[in-house]
Chain A
Amino acid sequence: MLRAEIWEITGFTMATAALATLLMVPPGLFLAWLLARGRFHGRLIVDTAISLPLVMPPVATGLVLLAMVAPRGPVGRVLARAGIEVVFTWKAVVLAMAVMGLPLFVRTVRAGIEQVDRRYEAAAATLGAGPLRVFFTVTLPLARPAVLAGAVLGFARALGEFGATIMIAGSIPGATRTLAVAIYSFAETGRDGDAALLVAVSAAIAFVALAAANWISSRQGVQA
């Protein structure tokens, strides 16, 4: 395999995983806060639904996503009208990665927020801070180690995403082919050596990402 091809696949995977991580942060923070601090009916349902991608077959999640973002799907139709095509593009790769990484991010951040002493939030409220200010100036900074650990875990999960990606993005060389997808394609077409090389690259990246997450956790005493 050409060195350029390895770099291209690796670079594409890292870039899409990074974008996916950015994409999961805003809804992930909100959901983690909602589950840690919210008191509402149907909490258990929200909690369970968010974690579904963790236990469902990823291809099943991929199929649900495909139904939604396909040009005739409920979300896809709106996007198509705005001229945005998702299926079988890099955007589909990012979406699949974000959806699959979100549960890990939410669970980690939620545990971190639950560890933030509510007395600080109460103190901020008596000092005149509204819920948003309390969250951004008190809760979030105090839960920062968990947010970092959650982001690294989400990123690591995104790097290895395969099932949902293959369903909505396929394996188009130079367009949607990530490390995981390329390993599968190469192995299937008899390019075993190339597949093995990419396995080594994936292992190295995953190792660094997980070591980073563990380092953050152990340093700051958060459970990831």
Chain B
Amino acid sequence: MIGLDFRLVQGAFTLDITAQLDRPITALFGPSGAGKTTVLDAVAGLRRPASGSILIGDRVVFDSERSVNVPARSRHVGYVAQDVALFPHMSVRRNVLYGRRKGQKLSLDTVTRMLEIEPLLDREVPQLSGGERQRVALARALMSAPELLLLDEPLAAVDVERRRRILPYIERVRDQMRVPIVYVTHDHAEAAQLADEVILLERGRIIGRER
């Protein structure tokens, strides 16, 4: 369960979010500028809300009243940002292993097989296509054994043909890893296809939920 109840101010923009997310895949859906990415940044610990609280499972990672603000590195959140941000100076293998946690049960083999990136492991990042980058970023996030996976427009940078090929990977992650996923998109069809619940966001507020 992900508990969101916070306000975040960013210049003239205010994000005011109250929601409990308890489905395997939740989509945050809304037009650009609605604050979707800002929600993910706040959950990941990259942006600090002005007030409120954020819960991941049974862990309080942010609570302004109790002065709790767990740093991003300790939140155990896998975040695949829209730009993916694979480290350009490392091979694919080093990228994928970067966040591997000690005592991690998940093996590199399992993840690379599931996402079909074994042939890419010894390549350099600049040689990868958009779709390959998405899978490598997904693998890198999974190897850190996250308790929650945040995906920001994972299909925005790839063409329609590749979309159809990447969606099954995300479904595999849901089915095999059992990590809850919060998925940001501005495409309603995509949201409806993948998510168990769709949260509609507009100008920093939740204006509707569909299950």
Contacts and interface: CB of A to CB of B under 8 A. Distances in A.
Interface of A: 117, 119-120, 122-130, 137-138, 141-142
Given A123-B87, A142-B89, A128 B81 contact: no
Interface residues of B, number: 25
11 contacts: A120-B87, A122-B81, A123-B86, A123-B87, A124-B87, A125-B46, A125-B71, A126-B72, A126-B99, A127-B98, A128-B73
A18 B164 CA distance: 58
Contact of A119 (B44, B45, B85, B101): B85
B99 A129 contact: yes
Given A119-B83, A119-B85, A142-B89, A126 B71 contact: no
A126 B87 CA distance: 13
B75 to A, nearest CB: 7
Contacts of A137: 98
Contact of A126 (B73, B83, B88, B89): B73
Judged by DSSP, the binding face of B is loop
Contact of B99 (A119, A128, A142): A128
A108 B183 CA distance: 40
Given A120-B87, A138-B87, A142-B89, A125 B72 contact: yes
Given A120-B85, A120-B87, A126 B77 contact: yes
A25 to B, nearest CB: 20
Interface string B41-83: 0001110000000000000000000000001111111110101
B140 interface: yes
B26 interface: no
Nearest to A144: B89
Nearest to A141: B89
Nearest to B99: A127
A122 B89 contact: no
Interface of B: 44-46, 71-79, 81, 83, 85-89, 98-99, 101, 140-141, 144
Contacts of A129: 73, 98-99
Contact of A127 (B46, B88, B144): B144
A124 B140 CA distance: 10
A119 B47 CA distance: 13
Given A123-B79, A128-B101, A141-B89, 14 more contacts: A120-B88, A122-B85, A123-B86, A123-B87, A124-B87, A124-B98, A126-B45, A126-B46, A126-B72, A126-B77, A127-B73, A127-B99, A128-B73, A137-B98
A119 B88 CA distance: 12
Given A127-B140, A129-B98, A122 B72 contact: yes
A124 B88 CA distance: 12
Contacts of A128: 73-74, 76, 99, 101, 144
Contacts of A122: 46, 72, 81, 85
Contacts of A127: 73, 98-99, 140-141, 144
A126 B44 contact: yes
Nearest to B89: A141
B98 A126 contact: no
B46 to A, nearest CB: 5
Contact of B81 (A123, A130, A138, A141): A123
Contacts of B75: 126
A128 B143 CA distance: 11
Contact of B78 (A119, A120, A126, A130): A126
